[in-house]
Structure 1
Amino acid sequence: MSGPRRRDERAAAVVDLVLVLVVLVPLVLGIIQVALVMHVRNTLAAAAAEGARYAATADRGPGEGEALTRRQIDEAVAGRFARDISVGRTSVGGRPAVVVTVRATVPALGLGGPGVELEVTGHAIEEQP
């Protein structure tokens, strides 16, 4: 009598596994997507801030800040995230400053499809010669 009973238990184990995987796989994929978006956002923000600081030095200009930002993004994540970079001048607390803005789309799970739109900025007070 132990033969049929073991067969039933194996079938139940397979059903249990499928039910658990139906819940866990989307959960794990969602966590991976959030981690990817946060990594790209933090990388873009750091590159924008560094580009703004570089462009704000007395012997540099906005073009050099943009080039540094683009290079850092390309080296850290991918060049496709460095397509829309703008550098401008602004005022922070009444002092002239440089602002670098990066806009990018992070695709779902890094594979394409609908994505998350990101916009980050970096500011730096300009050095006075």
Structure 2
Amino acid sequence: MSRFARRGERGSAVAEFVMVSGLVVFLFLAVFQLGLVLHIRNTLISCASEGARLGARADADPGLGAGRTRELIAASLSDAYAEDVTVGTHTVGGVQVVEVHVRAPFPVIGLLGPDGRFDVTGRAFLERQ
């Protein structure tokens, strides 16, 4: 009886390997996608903040902040992420601040992924007030 039981399970290790390895690859790609999105988001925030600090200096024009942000994004990521960069001055709590606003696409691997845009802002206090 045990002889027939062994014969019926022959080749099942291959099928189990294929199913488990497919699941592991899918989970790896999902974690990789999440890590890539978070890395790009943090890089965009850092570049926008650095551009806002440059534009908020007493001897600088706020427009310099947008240019610097574009340069930093192009150097660290890609020119595609630096296409929509705007700068402006606003009053927050009675203090003027320079805001650099960046809109960039989500990085998508394959056809399965979020379809949208990042919307990040970097702020710095205007020094000449």
Distance in structure 2 (CA, Å) of the matches to 1:15 and 1:111? 27
Which structure has greater helix proportion? Answer: 1
Q: Is the 8 A contact 1:98 1:126 kept in 2?
A: yes
Shift of 1:111: 8.1
Q: Which residue of 1 aligns with 2:77?
A: 77
Change (3 A) 1:92 1:70: same
> What is the RMSD computed on CA atoms of the aligned residues?
2.4
Q: Which residue of 1 aligns with 2:56?
A: 56
**Paired residues, what number?**
125
Deviates more, 1:18-27 or 1:73-82: 18-27
Distance in structure 2 (CA, Å) of the matches to 1:38 and 1:59? 34
Distance in structure 2 (CA, Å) of the matches to 1:81 and 1:102? 9
Q: Which runs of 5+ in 2 are unaligned?
A: none
Q: Is the 8 A contact 1:106 1:117 kept in 2?
A: yes
Q: Which runs of 5+ in 1 are unaligned?
A: none
Q: Note the 1:1-129 alignment, pairs <5 A.
A: 9=10, 11-109=11-109, 115-128=115-128
Identity %: 43
Change (3 A) 1:121 1:109: same
The normalised TM-score by structure 2 is 0.86
The normalised TM-score by structure 1 is 0.86
